[in-house]
């Protein structure tokens, strides 16, 4: 069995507070047996305004957030998928919203830059990530001990072609900070659809609550199995969602309903 966990947070604008919370929750997940742990989108910096986000953006390979993730993975001997952090881009006013993956030796072994940038306007709610983020251009997949893991971030969930482009994977991970409004309507349906159509596990780590800046996020971090069943969920608040990747079960689903083999395009 392979135990994986998603961390749910309600991140604040204080990077040091967020690092302390992440350390506490990841340690709790590991005490409960997790060998691979996923943090949510912008776990270290959510709540910072756009200009402060650019100020804390790190060059790849160095900076306090990357040092923290690498040390934590090494110390706890886990695979750590670092939600997302802002990496410095060539445009001084924009960042790259990046997931970095660390192995149990604390080495950086995977990267994915969020490709689809969220835009949404309804009433007083408005988001336009392309103002402050440079989109990624490459699919991200890495090899974990139990098989291939595909990387995606939040709004990417709405674009099934990204997940097809990963090739067959055992697990899709999705760090997120879904809005309360869109999350209530679409989050679980889309996550379960990605698990069903790709016949793999889906692990989603969300922000979930009312943040100090007033923003409300949907939460509902969850683990879904290859049949589309929700195995564990945390509706709101900080905490850990944990479960097993059962490869024999996944193979059974793929054998009894060989939809992946029946693809024609």
Contacts of 58 (CB under 8 A, 6+ apart): 64, 65, 66, 85, 86, 87, 88
Contact between residue 219 and residue 205 where contact means Cβ atoms under 8 Å apart: no
- Nearest CA to 205 out of 195, 220, 189 is that of 220
Total of chain residues touching ligand AKG, rule CB under 6 A: 8
Q: Which is nearer to ligand AKG, 204 or 253 (CB)?
A: 204
Contacts of 146 (CB under 8 A, 6+ apart): 2, 170, 171, 245, 247
Catalytic residue among 41, 58, 236, 238: 41
Active site residue 236: no
Catalytic residue among 58, 94, 154, 238: 154
Determine the interface stretch with ligand AKG among 20-28, 104-112, 151-159, 162-170 (rule: CB under 6 A). 151-159
Structure tokens that stand for 119 in this block: 């835009």
Q: Report the helix count and the strand count for the chain, using DSSP H and E.
A: 7, 15
Q: Which is nearer to ligand AKG, 154 or 245 (CB)?
A: 154
For residues 176 and 7, give the distance between their C-alpha atoms in angstroms, rounded to a whole number.
11
Active site residue 200: no
Q: State the binding string over 201-240 for ligand AKG (x if CB under 6 A, else -).
A: ----------------------------------------
For residues 222 and 228, give the distance between their C-alpha atoms in angstroms, rounded to a whole number.
12
Q: Which of residues 82-141 bind ligand AKG (CB under 6 A)?
A: 118
Find the DSSP H helices in 77-187: 160-164, 180-182
List the one residue from 24, 131, 138, 158 that touches ligand AKG (CB under 6 A).
158
List the one residue from 155, 163, 180, 201 that touches ligand AKG (CB under 6 A).
155
Determine the interface stretch with ligand AKG among 100-108, 153-161, 208-216, 239-247 (rule: CB under 6 A). 153-161
129-147 residues labelled b (16+ CB within 10 A) or e (exposed): beebbbebeebbbbebebb
Active site residue 154: yes
Q: Which is nearer to ligand AKG, 21 or 97 (CB)?
A: 97
Three-class SS state of 172: strand
Q: Which of residues 173-192 bind ligand AKG (CB under 6 A)?
A: 177-179, 182
154 touches ligand AKG (CB under 6 A):
yes
- Residues lying near ligand AKG in the complex (CB under 6 A) are found at 118, 154-155, 158, 177-179, 182
Q: Would you name the residues annotated as active-site residues? A: 41, 114, 154
């Amino acid at each position: 069995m392979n135990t994986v966990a998603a961390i749910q947070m309600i991140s604040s604008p204080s990077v040091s507070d967020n690092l302390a919370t992440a350390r506490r929750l990841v340690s709790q997940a590991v005490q409960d047996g997790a060998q691979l742990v996923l943090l949510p989108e912008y776990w270290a910096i959510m709540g910072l305004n756009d200009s402060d986000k650019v100020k804390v953006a790190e060059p790849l390979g160095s900076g306090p957030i990357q040092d923290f993730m690498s040390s934590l993975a090494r110390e706890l001997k886990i695979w750590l998928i670092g939600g997302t952090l802002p990496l410095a881009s060539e445009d001084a006013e924009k960042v790259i919203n990046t997931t970095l993956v660390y192995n149990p030796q604390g080495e950086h072994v995977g990267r994915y830059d969020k490709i689809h940038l969220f835009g949404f306007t309804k009433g007083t709610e408005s988001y336009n990530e392309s103002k402050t983020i440079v989109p990624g251009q490459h699919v991200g997949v890495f090899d974990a001990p139990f098989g291939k893991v595909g990387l995606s971030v939040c709004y990417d969930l709405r674009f099934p072609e990204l997940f097809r482009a990963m090739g067959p994977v055992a697990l899709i991970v999705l760090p997120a900070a879904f809005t309360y409004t869109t999350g209530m309507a679409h989050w679980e349906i889309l996550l379960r659809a990605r698990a069903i159509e790709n016949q793999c596990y889906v692990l989603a780590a969300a922000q979930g609550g009312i943040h100090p800046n007033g923003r409300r996020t949907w939460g509902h971090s969850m683990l879904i199995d290859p049949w589309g069943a929700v195995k564990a969920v945390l509706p709101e608040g900080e905490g850990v969602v944990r479960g097993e990747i059962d490869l024999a079960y996944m193979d059974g689903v793929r054998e009894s309903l060989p939809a992946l083999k029946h693809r024609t395009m």
